[in-house]
Amino acid sequence: MTKTLTQKILERHLVSGEYEPGNEIGIRIDQTLTQDATGTMACLQFEAMGLDRVKTDSSVSFVDHNTIQIGFENADDHRYLQTVAARYGLDYSRAGNGICHQVHLERFGKPGTTLLGSDSHTPTGGGIGQIAIGAGGLDVALAMAGEPFFLTCPRVIRINLTGKLESWVSAKDVILKILEIFGTKGNVGCVFEYGGSGVETLTVPERATIANMGAECGVTTSIFPSDEETRKFLKAQAREGGWQELDADPGAECFKVIDIDLSELVPLTATPHSPCNISAVKELEGMDVNQVCVGSCTNSSYRDLMVVAKTLKGKKVHPNVSFVLAPGSKQVVDMLARNGALADLIETGVRLEENACGFCIGNSQSPQTGAVSLRTSNRNFLARSGTKSANVYLVSPETAAAAVITGKITDPRGLGMPYPEIAIPDEFIIDDSMILPPSDDPDSVEIYRGPNIGEPPSNDPLPETVTGVVTIKVEDNITTDHIIPAGSRMKYRSNVPRYSEFLFEVLDTGFYNRAREIRDSGMHNIIVGGLSYGQGSSREHAALCPMYMGVKAVLAKSFERIHTANLINFGIVPVTFRNEDDYDKIDQGDRLEIPDIREKISLGKTLVVKNATKGVEFEVDCDLSERAKDIVLAGGMLSLIKNKK
Ligand code: MIC
Ligand code: SF4
């Protein structure tokens, strides 16, 4: 029987269930990655499991998100993470070493293995033929403890690439095209598997850019074959030993097949405020630009920054533009420093940020009021830049560089200069001194806990009946950035009571006070959402903080994968409208009841929602696996684990 690459790797890692799309399966996780904004909670949860050592082949703890360090909180978190890593057997990539996905690809990723990361862009590893999946911190903590990761066995969408990209068109334009085709919703439970003759024309960093932003479509992951190009990349990273050839069998059956001729693609952009609002750059040409930001885990590789440096060599930043650059890793900067490209960039007038997420997560370089900001990052959700009125356009490094020169949105093909083709170097500069291995004497390591670090909050078992108030009713496409912002608020990630004050801040600053009053009056909070609720990040705080505020159920037209898992892990019931029109039968402030929710979930019976305010009732769905039911009934995974002890 012929198999997709996804099937081959998943089957090799299967520990429970059968490989059949739609089934729940459990897989063994070889590698994990965490980053500081999600990793502190994940490590606290790991510690609570009482193990001596991580059980994976490799677990890496990265510090790349909260590196601005205004106040003591983040530095304390970093120190905590460093000591936990030393004690429990994780490698620790220090602040300054780079963005988790970029560094992981460079120094750790291995074709044919599984990687679980507490960050939604973990699928970047698909660029070297890994099954790399983003998940909530608690799921990653469990994987670190050697537990399987449970997921819906995916349906494989094959994306056949043919042809070769024209000059000034690059990998970002490929994934923006894919976002135009698939959108950000309706792709839950699928994997994008790339193949076809066009694959060999793309280098590993380009493949990684494409795999990275598959996250915006909501797919479980994206994967490329591991071929000679992969070997070349790993060899240049002095890691050729980890290479193996991997591809789908010819003719392997897929859920869907689409063809993309790379030679037909043109420079594209995602316009505000969603990565799937796609336009050709040409159509927006001439629009004034205030800010250009190059970097993020999507486009901060050596290849990307070299294209920008070569395009800008000898030029100056346009007077109306603020040009920001956040390199992906220390290795990338090292390369650019030694070959002179960094000097060229400095000459242009660039504003250099640290090798970290930086502007991408909105904790720095927020643009001016109403700005047009061109960014090579992956998300342009409302207010993510830190400026709610700003309009963020997602573009390739080529399009970004063109705007730095002209001060306007410019199709880079019209720059009238030769295209700087960037080859993968034969050898990258290898210096892992910013990656600290675990301690040889773990028992001697004392875990550092700053005052900002609290215990993960606990939850009660699911009540017999949910009786509550609709604290907020939101529209379609609500992202985790809407639910709980990152940016300057993110420094409270280890302090759930404080961080919860910012819930839904972007949409409705009254949420927190209403939720607190309802919770303190002994009622439950209920959230009502539209289609694709919980898009975007893996941040489990979008479930953990609502749990802390007494939210017991979210009713939505549909949910995104990682957020559903997070809701379940924190004991919040994800309920879907059986009939989407019933969404209109609820308003914010309505009193709802979901009678006998415990019993009905446990027996798999249909749930009914009674709207006492409107005097109507309707049936809803809550399709949970037996495993998920146990978690929700216990009040979340941590309660379930405690009960089992
Ligand atoms: C993001 O890009 O939104 C983040 C910040 O990296 C998140 C993780 C987080 O919120 O800590 C993600 O993508 O999962
Ligand atoms: Fe960091 Fe941005 Fe990538 Fe998230 S998307 S990991 S914030 S660079």
pLDDT digits (tens, 9 = 90+) for 262-307: 999 999 999 999 999 999 999 999 999 999 999 999 999 999 999 9
Tell if the pTM clears 0.85, that is, is over it.
yes
Confidence at residue 220, expressed as pLDDT on a 0 to 100 scale: 98
Q: What is the pLDDT of residues 473-489, one digit of tens each?
A: 999 999 999 999 999 89
Kindly report the protein residue whose alpha carbon is nearest to atom 1 of ligand 1.
537
| Tokens coding 640 | 């379930």
Please provide the size of the chain in residues.
645
Q: Say which CATH architecture domain 466-644 belongs to.
A: Alpha-Beta Barrel (3.20)
Task: Identify which of 361, 479, 482, 502 to mutate to test ligand 1's pocket (most ligand atoms within 8 A of the CB).
Answer: 361
What percent of the chain is modeled with pLDDT above 70?
100
* 5-264 CATH pick, 2.60.120.10, 3.40.190.100, 3.30.499.10, 3.10.20.30: 3.30.499.10
Return the ∠ at Cα 505 (arms to 123 and 70), rounded to 5°. Answer: 75
**Ligand 2, residues at Cβ distance < 6 Å:** 65, 99, 119, 121, 296-297, 357, 360-361, 377-378
Q: Where in the chain is the domain with CATH 3.20.19.10?
A: 466-644
Confidence at residue 637, expressed as pLDDT on a 0 to 100 scale: 95
CA of 485 to the centre of ligand 1 (A): 10
| Tokens coding 598 | 């415990």
Q: How far apart are CA 66 and CA 488, in angstroms?
A: 9
**Ligand 1, residues at Cβ distance < 6 Å:** 37-38, 65, 119-121, 134, 361, 486, 536-539
Q: Which ligand is nearest to the CA of 215?
A: 1
* CATH, domain range 268-414: 3.30.499.10
Residue 458 pLDDT > 90: no
Q: What is the pLDDT of residues 198-217, one digit of tens each?
A: 999 999 999 999 999 999 99
Residue 425 pLDDT > 80: yes
Ligand 1 atom nearest the C-alpha of 481 is 3
At 597 the three-state DSSP class reads helix
Kindly report the protein residue whose alpha carbon is nearest to atom 3 of ligand 1.
537
Confidence at residue 642, expressed as pLDDT on a 0 to 100 scale: 83
Confidence at residue 454, expressed as pLDDT on a 0 to 100 scale: 79
Q: Which residues contact 441 (CB under 8 A, 6 or more apart)?
A: none
Ligand 2 atom nearest the C-alpha of 119 is 6
Kindly report the protein residue whose alpha carbon is nearest to atom 10 of ligand 1.
539
Mean model confidence pLDDT for the chain = 97
Q: What is the DSSP string of 56-119?
A: SSEEEEE--SS-S--SSHHHHHHHHHHHHHHHHT-EEE-TTSB-HHHHHHHHT--TT-EEEESS
Confidence at residue 405, expressed as pLDDT on a 0 to 100 scale: 98
Residue 116 pLDDT > 90: yes
Q: How far apart are CA 234 and CA 427, in angstroms?
A: 9
Q: Where in the chain is the domain with CATH 3.30.499.10?
A: 5-264, 268-414
Task: Identify which of 60, 213, 304, 361 to mutate to test ligand 2's pocket (most ligand atoms within 8 A of the CB).
Answer: 361
Kindly report the protein residue whose alpha carbon is nearest to atom 3 of ligand 2.
297
